[in-house]
Structure formats: C-alpha cells, structure tokens
A and B are shown apart, each in its own frame.
Chain A
Amino acid sequence: MPQTLRESVAPLVEHFFRHEAGRLVSVLIRIFGWRNFDLVEDMVQATLVDALQAWRHRGVPGNPSGWVHGVARNKILDALRRDKIGQRVVTEWAATLPTSQEGLDKQFLGSAIEDSQLRMIFACCHPRLARENQLALTLKTLCGFGVLEIGRALLVSEETVKKRIQRARRDLIDHEVSLDPPQDGDLAHRLDAVHQVLYLLFNEGYSSSKGDTAIRADLCEDAVWLCHLLCSQPRFSTPATHALMALMLFHAARLEARLDQHGGVLLMEEQDRAKWDHRLIRRAQEFLDRSAEGAVISPFHLEGAIACHHCMAPSYAETDWLAILHLYDALLKIHRSPVYLLNRAIVVAEIEGPHAGLHALREAGQDRALAQYYLYDATIGEFYRRAGEMDEAKQHLEAAKRKTPSSHDRAIIERRLAKCS
C-alpha cells in the first residue's frame, strides 16, 4: 500500500524554518531574557530539529507553525521545571510570567508573537549598540540567519559575525536594555534607529554587487518584512516608516530586472522596463502617498520620491531629471552626503551635458572616501566619454576597474570601455 507524502498537498512556505526561528527566539527571549540567550538558542534549535526529523518521511502537517509552537511550548515547560535557569526565571517572574500551559498558549497567539517581534526589533536596533552589531544581531535573532550566512551576506568572516553578536548581547545586558516598547518621549529617536538599520539591511542586499546573490535577495525581503511589521502597529506606522517602505518597494520592483541572464548587473538605462514589477510599484506609490500625511520630510521621503520618478518614467530618456535634481538639492540641505553629490552630478549631466556633470562632481571629489570609490572614477570616465574625450575617459574607467573587487562591476565598466573608440 504505497503512501503519498503530505508534502505534495501542502508544501512548506519558503524560508519557513528561518522565519519560525525568528518568531521562536523573539517569544523565548521575552520569557527567559537576554542573559539566557544560549539556552534560548538551544531550545529553538532543538525544536526545529524535531520538526525536520518528524516531517522527513511523512511530510508536513496541516498547520506546521502550530506544530512547531506546540513542541516549543513543551520544551519551555520542561526547561522551567527541570533547568536551573528555568527555576530562576520562574521565581524572577513569579507574578507575571506565563509559566503555566495556559499563559504560554497566549504567548503563541499570532498577535502576541508579532508583539514580541516588534519589541525585539527595538532591542536589536537600540541606539546603544554599534551599527554593525545591530545589523548582525537583527539578522541572527529576528531573521533566523546562521553566522556563516550573515558573513556571506555582509562579506565578513564567521569570526567577525560571532564577535559582533556577542558584543551586541553584552551591550544589551550591560545597558539593561529592556524588551519594553519605547516610551513616547523616546519613540522618535528609537524609531529612527530602527529605520536606519532596516535601510542599511536593505542596501546591503540591494546596492552591493558582491557576495552570494540569493542571500542578498533575502536581506531585501526581510528588510521589507520588518518594515511591514512596523506598519502593523499604529505607534510605529509613522510617515517616515511609510516613506521607507515606499523607497524599499520602488527599489525591490527593479530587483530582478537589474540582472542579466548570467547574473551580471545592468544599469538603469540598460534595463528592460517591462520587467519591472508594476504591482510592487503600485504598492510603493500607495505608501508614498500615505507618507505625505505628516509635516516632517525625512530623507526617506525624498529618496522615495526620486525612486518613484525613476519607476514612473516610460524610458530612461523621458525621466523627469529636473524634478529629481530638485529632490537631490533638498536632500543635500538635510545631509551633505558625498554619495548624494555624486548622484546629483549624474542628474546634472543628463540635463546640462557631461561638462556640467564634471563640474558638479568636483565638490563630491573633495571627500576622500568618495574619491576612493570606484563609482566616482567610473562616473568621471563616463562623462568624458560622452564629451568625446576618449583618452581621459579610458584613464578613469581603468582606474575604476582597479578599485572594485566585484566582477559584476568590472563587467559594467568593460562595456563602457568598449564604447570608448
């Protein structure tokens, strides 16, 4: 009597284990506290291993999350009963802790899990932690990535990732960062820190053309997902949150069209606009509309509006460069970032020609870090090429090629060099 696998009826959603790990860690840390991070990680791992071994042969049960949470609840009750740490946790929390089966069940309701995850976002992105440690801790605890995977995504060693996570955990304990949601007076500051981390997370996945492509796409997806979580809570669903969401979705809409069939990166002017995800663009526009509700204009509003102009243009040539120029001017008033200056110069060149572009780049080039950036030389080279000064163009494009370790970036520069004759 041959049996069919249940899997064929209900396959697991993508990254089920990873997202489940994030949910479980958030719920369990809320019960056991940061000090018992190791115990929590062991319990979460044991829960997932149980699921893996149980589902291998006969497939996935109808409600896989429910199944996993059931196992986790038993492991928690076991730890509270048997484990020394568990005993201590029970006494510490005697008045409020959900140590009974009933209390635990409440912690695993959908809304309670989301609440735990939101608390966790604010803890992982606490301003007391260094930015790179916030990022590593977020990826580990909320997104369920392994240390090696985080290293592959951020292009740092496994050791470095481990150190960053340990450092972040120590800082959380030393500064007694609680898992309580931020107070009203502190909210703007705390929320801004969260926005910055999510934006960085998204950019790590989107902007760099290095490392493992699949993991980097996951980073973008998770940044959007965490921002969605913020949007689900009225207190955190501010105009800046909506603007960040819009910005990420506009970029995400172009994610796949950015790559050619060999995984090489295509410039915006080379992309097939029909391949952009127009459903995502529409959703991004909705968020951008909602972001206009408040009086505050954040850099996310302006960057979102720029991305919107790019997504709305029927072709590269028909882009509303003048509108984009004004948006960059507004951005530079908030923050004189060399990267904004570089991007602004590209817009200037589109409006007034390559010589005006070169002139605009001069200020940006005074920033030493930017002058070391391959895109700075690549842009100068491209401006000279358009001006017909091929020797200068080649010289700068070659310099750009030497400055980037990425084969994808070098391929783009090669295409430009081929046009220099």
Chain B
Amino acid sequence: MAKFLFVFRSDNDAHYKMTPDEMQQNHQRWVQWLGEGIQKGWVVDVGDGLSAEGRVVDAKKVVTDGPFVESKEVVGGFTIVQAGTIDAAAEIAKGCPMFQEGGTGGTVEVRPLWGFTMKN
C-alpha cells in the first residue's frame, strides 16, 4: 500500500453562497465520506481544515499576509490516504463531497508521499 496526500482546493465564493441548512448537509456528507474511509481503512490521517488567514515568508524573510491566491484555488484542507496505486487513490478522490450535488466544486490534488512509497 502506498500513501497519498489529498489536497482539497475549492471555490471560496461557493462556500459563501451556501445557506445554513446547505452547510449542514455539506458537513454531514464530509463526515460520512471520511468516516467511511476510516471504516474501510483508506484514511491514514483525516488531516484537518485550514483557516483562511495566513502568512507568507519569502527568501528575504519578509512576512506578508496571505496566501491571497485566487478564490477558486483556496486550499481548504488535507487528508492522508492509502491505496494500492495512484489511480486507485484518484478513484477514491472522486467520491469527495465537493463533487456531489450541493458541493462547492473544486479539485482534489492527489500526491504520493515519497517516504511512504519507497520500498526498502
């Protein structure tokens, strides 16, 4: 089994357009999806959500508020999963609630973790 980082990027505006009841449904779908992952064993670490604020430090050690990327590409959270192949991991990512009806839309970036995938 190899391990992968899921990076969830979504459209911030989509979050701001949700009604409270839609948020609750969205929340339930995420909890259900990751809960299922824990039960089936593909979740290694549920990860966490990311707060919107941040600081960016550059090579000159200048600290700026950020990340201020385009609203559509805001990283909202991450999870570490395990799967046999990267394609199998991508298959799992297709189940993400972002893509379901009432979801926020967005992308899941699936990245293999070196440390876990190297076979000794």
Contact = CB atoms under 8 A, between A and B. Distances in A.
Given A52-B15, A53-B49, A8 B26 contact: no
B44 interface: yes
Interface residues of B, number: 31
Interface residues of A, number: 33
Contacts of B20: 15, 17-18, 20-21, 48, 144-146
B21 A17 contact: yes
A257 B28 CA distance: 28
B19 A57 contact: no
A155 interface: no
B51 A17 contact: no
- SS class, residues of chain A in contact with chain B: helix
Given A2-B38, A2-B44, A3-B45, A52 B19 contact: no
A13 B19 CA distance: 17
B15 A57 contact: no
B92 interface: no
Interface stretch (B29-37, B58-66, B83-91, B105-113): B29-37
A18 B19 CA distance: 8
Contacts, number: 96
Given A56-B77, A57-B79, A5 B46 contact: yes
Contact of A57 (B23, B24, B41, B48): B48
Contacts of B23: 17, 48-49, 51-52
A16 B28 CA distance: 12
Contacts of A236: none
B73 interface: no
Contacts of A45: 16
Interface of B: 15-16, 18-24, 26-28, 30-31, 34-35, 38, 41, 43-52, 76-77, 79
Interface of A: 1-5, 7-8, 12, 15-18, 20-21, 45-46, 48-59, 144-146, 148-149
